[in-house]
Amino acid sequence: MVFSSGGSGSELDSFFGLLKRLADAFGISGYEDEIRGIVVDVLREYADEVRVDRFGNVIAAKRAGRGYPRILWDSHMDEIGFFVRYIDERGFIYLSPVGGWSERVLPGQRVRILADDGSLVRGVIGSKPPHLMKPEERDKVTPIDKLFVDIGASSREEVEKLGIRIGSPVDLDREAVRLAGTRVTGKAFDNRVGTAVLIEAFRRIDPREQDVYLVVAVQEEVGLKGARVAAQQLQPDAAIAVDVTTANDVPDVARQDWVAELGKGPVLKVADGRSASGLIANPRLLRLLEDTAKELGIPYQRSILPGGTTDATAIALTGKGVPSVVVAIPTRYIHSPVELLDLRDAVAAARLVEEATRRITPEWYREHLEEKKLK
């Protein structure tokens, strides 16, 4: 399919360069130092102001000043991972999950453990060779608390000497690479792709016409925490969160159960989560995004996500309430080491967020979103 919204070869190449730099970095929830350092480095170039708040969020601003609605853009920088839970006397390491893993994808993976001195120690998640499995074991999933990491050590002392202790953070050892055409795979595209999208949009936005606060939040995967803290500080007038959403356009999923497809453009989520725990997108902002996409010929998909939610849910419930929407990047195999997406969807999302924000003028805001005193 053809994208009229740009997405030239060199644009996709440079977007992938940024995405790879972000996705390959270490940064499980609560231990985001490496990824945060990269985000700060990149944003310093474009922002009027960049700071790291006490919670660890990066907040960058381009400010038109008074009279303009304060728009919060959010993505999260943290990725799911593990903590070291126990080290046995033979040097095998047991894990405690951080965020929602599917344990089925874990045996046979390589991991990196962040040691006390900041170095990354490599290991593998062991699995039983099929020759040793009893027939009834073969199609059983090993629960996470039974999985163990082998770093090649022979004793607990040897592990500890490398600076690994209970609580050491762990991520998966996986580099982002390009696949056929415009598709790419890697770890932590959830949500380093949203971060790359918003950095790209932020770079282009004009500070004379917009009051934009870009929040690259921590600890999303453990309860939308960083975004909540950031929104409380910033008290925005509206918010756009960019995150991944399930593309389940794969074999064995019936067409009516697809949430989104790769290569069909960014996803405008009408609603997500299950009733109480999710977001119902603000219909006026949703319409603005849709109208913007139509006007510019940017492809997009509308979608309802049955489970899972994003930072927008937490942001929407701060202060007097914040009208919020989500622009999502369709991604296959989310929360696995082989997340897979189409670069064209991401590049189109950056353009859509930038252009829609440009249309949130003071007049538009007053007419559509502002609190109304009726008497």
Part in contact with Zn ion (CB under 5 A); list of ranges 178-186, 188-196, 280-288, 363-371? 188-196
190 binds Zn ion (CB under 5 A): yes
Q: Which two tokens stand for residue 365?
A: 């805001």
Report the nearest approach of Zn ion to the CB of residue 53 (Å).
Answer: 21
Q: Which residues of 69-89 are buried (b: 16+ CB within 10 A; e: fewer)?
A: bbbbbbbbbbbbbbbbbebee
Residue among 232, 205, 229, 206 at smallest CA distance from 219: 229
Report the nearest approach of Zn ion to the CB of residue 190 (Å).
Answer: 4
Residues β-bridged to residue 96: 83
Report the nearest approach of Zn ion to the CB of residue 195 (Å).
Answer: 13
Q: Which of 32, 79, 200, 220 is catalytic?
A: 220
Report the nearest approach of Zn ion to the CB of residue 241 (Å).
Answer: 12
Q: In terms of CB distance, is 12 or 244 closer to Zn ion?
A: 244
Q: What is the 3-state secondary structure (H, E, C) of the chain?
A: CCCCCCCCHHHHHHHHHHHHHHHCCCCECCECHHHHHHHHHHHHCCCCEEEECCCCCEEEEECCCCCCCEEEEEEECCECEEEEEEECCCCCEEEEEECCCCHHHCCCCEEEEECCCCCEEEEEECCCCHHHCCHHHHCCCCCHHHCEEECCCCCHHHHHHCCCCCCCEEEECCCCEECCCCEEEECCHHHHHHHHHHHHHHHHCCCCCCEEEEEEECCCCCCCHHHHHHHHHHCCCEEEEEEEEECCCCCCCCHHHCCCCCCCCCEEEEECCCHHHCCECCHHHHHHHHHHHHHHCCCCEEEECCCCCCHHHHHHCCCCCCCEEEEEEEEECCCCCCEEEEHHHHHHHHHHHHHHHHCCCHHHHHHHCCCCCCC
Part in contact with Zn ion (CB under 5 A); list of ranges 50-58, 85-93, 186-194, 268-276? 186-194
Which residue sits closest to Zn ion, CB atoms considered?
190
Report the nearest approach of Zn ion to the CB of residue 305 (Å).
Answer: 12
Using CB under 5 A, count the residues that bind Zn ion.
1
Part in contact with Zn ion (CB under 5 A); list of ranges 5-13, 16-24, 112-120, 187-195? 187-195
Q: In terms of CB distance, is 190 or 237 closer to Zn ion?
A: 190
What track of x and - describes contact with Zn ion for positions 139 through 178 (by CB under 5 A)? ----------------------------------------
Q: In terms of CB distance, is 91 or 266 closer to Zn ion?
A: 266
Q: In terms of CB distance, is 210 or 219 closer to Zn ion?
A: 219
Report the nearest approach of Zn ion to the CB of residue 62 (Å).
Answer: 27
Residues β-bridged to residue 113: 121, 170
* Binding to Zn ion, residues 249-288 (CB under 5 A): none
Q: In terms of CB distance, is 286 or 305 closer to Zn ion?
A: 305
Part in contact with Zn ion (CB under 5 A); list of ranges 49-57, 189-197, 275-283, 309-317? 189-197
* Binding to Zn ion, residues 211-250 (CB under 5 A): none
Q: Which two tokens stand for residue 177?
A: 């690479």
Q: In terms of CB distance, is 51 or 274 closer to Zn ion?
A: 274
Active site residue 220: yes
Part in contact with Zn ion (CB under 5 A); list of ranges 43-51, 57-65, 190-198, 355-363? 190-198
355 binds Zn ion (CB under 5 A): no
| Rg of the Cα atoms in the chain | 21
Q: Tokens 């219909």 label which residue?
A: 283
Q: In terms of CB distance, is 74 or 190 closer to Zn ion?
A: 190
74 binds Zn ion (CB under 5 A): no
Report the nearest approach of Zn ion to the CB of residue 160 (Å).
Answer: 32
Report the nearest approach of Zn ion to the CB of residue 79 (Å).
Answer: 8
Task: Name the amino acid, one letter, at 312.
Answer: A
Q: In terms of CB distance, is 83 or 189 closer to Zn ion?
A: 189
Part in contact with Zn ion (CB under 5 A); list of ranges 104-112, 118-126, 182-190, 353-361? 182-190
Query: Residue numbers of the site for Zn ion (CB under 5 A)?
Result: 190
Q: Catalytic residues, which ones? A: 220
